[in-house]
Amino acid sequence: MIRVTVWNEFKHEREFESVRAIYPKGIHGCIADFLGKEEDITVQTATFDMPEHGLTEEVLRQTDVLIIWSHALQEKFSDEVAERVQRHVLSGMGLIALHSAHFSKIMKRLMGTTMTLKWKHGEQEKLWCISPNHPIAEGIPEKIEIPQEEMYGEYFDIPKPDEVIFAGWFSGGQVFRSGCTFTRGLGKIFYFQPGHEEYPIYDIPEIQRIIVNAVHFCAPQRMNRKYPECEEIKE
């Protein structure tokens, strides 16, 4: 079994009726629901308001893949918890960062760049699969039409990805590296752009399939994770 923790800031859904109408259980609840239907995945959720944001040492030790969605509270996120998550990724925990979580302390620490980009509300997106042989693209069509999405545009200040699997084209003309993989230490990371909270994007079956595929891709091969350390050989 792959043990997934879905972490969400869970602020917009409580603040705005319009967002709550789309995600009555929160974005984390929506993602946990469709992941929970998979036979080889067990899911738990955590949110910002829990002690230590719900990402204690104990929780992370029992997490194979962490999924994060964040936006308004990025700066208020604990540095100590961000460092802890980084350490677990370096020791092999998979990480999937969704939409505005590109700008989370966790991603900034792991990527080492500014993670800045351009954005604009209320556009259409065509999400093109440009690496069809990648495991995250399994069963995914050449193009996914997203009727309404916030535009994210280049230049996106990320380090060079291992692979770019999806490219977003927006109705305003911008393009974006919408699905990228990275490796940090022993951990596999997938950044995925779709998922602005005002539109029901995590209800789209193909988007759900991509996230399920990404869980399988990012899961560590060996379940006994150990933080890499310098070691002197004495013989």
**Chain residues in the site for Zn ion (CB under 5 A):** 100, 150, 196
CA-closest candidate to residue 188, choices 114, 111, 94, 124:
94
Rounded to an integer, what distance in angstroms lies between the CA atom of residue 168 and that of residue 213? 19
Tell me how far, at minimum, the Cβ of 84 lies from Zn ion, in Å: 26
Distances (CA, A) of 177 to 16, 81, 109, 206, 214: 29, 28, 20, 18, 16
- Of 134 and 196, nearer to Zn ion (C-beta) is 196
Return the residue nearest Zn ion (CB atom): 196
Tell me how far, at minimum, the Cβ of 87 lies from Zn ion, in Å: 28
Tell me how far, at minimum, the Cβ of 147 lies from Zn ion, in Å: 16
Rounded to an integer, what distance in angstroms lies between the CA atom of residue 200 and that of residue 17? 14
- Of 97 and 219, nearer to Zn ion (C-beta) is 97
- Of 34 and 199, nearer to Zn ion (C-beta) is 199
- Of 71 and 188, nearer to Zn ion (C-beta) is 71
Rounded to an integer, what distance in angstroms lies between the CA atom of residue 50 and that of residue 56? 10
Tell me how far, at minimum, the Cβ of 28 lies from Zn ion, in Å: 16
DSSP string, 112-143: -S----EEEEEEEEEEEES-TTSGGGTT--SE
- Of 90 and 175, nearer to Zn ion (C-beta) is 175
Rounded to an integer, what distance in angstroms lies between the CA atom of residue 70 and that of residue 90? 21
Are 54 and 47 in contact, with CB atoms under 8 Å apart? yes
Tell me how far, at minimum, the Cβ of 195 lies from Zn ion, in Å: 7
